[in-house]
């Protein structure tokens, strides 16, 4: 059954990278722009705002709506305590869970991490990209997620400005 589910994920997710007509592109995106597929629910406004954030930072992104994205999160190895409202997947298969700032995605993809599956900002911290509320900000951590279900701190964001 797991193999069947893996096949379904491959058939749904990876062909999306080839469909450039539906992607949101930054106006000045370089040819080697980072591409992300963002799995989200149709009604989530903060997910759309987060997609705008990464596009403004030079990424290419396509939001893909599903009514239940938890099966994808489980298949990617994202434990429930690391989950948020959306999951972005890079061409390389790394997962970026929740409101991870673009600068940390770019940094992570430029590095090598043994047994890592990606990064997470669990929950939805006020003031993180896509979760802006007036001038409010709540410090948070970006976590490095591993295949064995563990994590470790990757970055600490103490101020709004540190996200960019």
pLDDT digits (tens, 9 = 90+) for 54-90: 999 999 999 999 999 999 999 999 999 999 999 999 9
pLDDT category of residue 12 using cuts at 50, 70 and 90: low
Contact 125, 159 (CB under 8 A): no
Contacts of residue 17, Cβ cutoff 8 Å, sequence gap at least 6: 35, 37, 91
Which candidate, 105, 124, 97, places its Cα nearest to that of 55?
Answer: 105
pLDDT digits (tens, 9 = 90+) for 19-59: 433 344 444 545 568 999 999 999 888 889 999 999 999 99
CB atoms under 10 Å from CB of 66, counted, come to: 14
Query: Which DSSP letter does residue 75 get?
Result: H
| Residue written as token pair 């996200």 | 163
Name the more confident of 141 and 114: 141
Average pLDDT, integer, range 97-109: 97
CB atoms under 10 Å from CB of 14, counted, come to: 13
State residue 8's pLDDT score. Answer: 46
Which candidate, 35, 142, 152, 145, places its Cα nearest to that of 99?
Answer: 142
């Amino acid at each position: 059954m797991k193999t069947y589910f893996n096949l379904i994920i491959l058939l749904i997710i990876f062909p999306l990278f080839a469909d450039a007509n539906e992607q949101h592109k930054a106006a000045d995106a370089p040819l080697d722009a980072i591409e992300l597929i963002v799995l989200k629910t149709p009604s989530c406004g903060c997910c759309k705002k987060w997609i705008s954030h990464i596009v403004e930072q030079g990424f290419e992104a396509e939001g893909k709506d599903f009514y239940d994205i938890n099966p994808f999160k489980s298949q990617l190895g994202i434990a429930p305590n690391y989950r948020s409202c959306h999951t972005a997947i890079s061409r390389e298969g790394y997962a970026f869970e929740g409101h991870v700032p673009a600068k940390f995605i770019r940094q992570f993809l430029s590095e090598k991490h043994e047994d890592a599956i990606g990064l997470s900002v669990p929950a939805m911290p006020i003031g993180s990209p896509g979760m802006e509320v007036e001038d409010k900000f709540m410090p948070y951590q970006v976590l490095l997620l591993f295949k064995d279900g563990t994590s470790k701190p990757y970055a600490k964001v103490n101020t709004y400005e540190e996200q960019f």
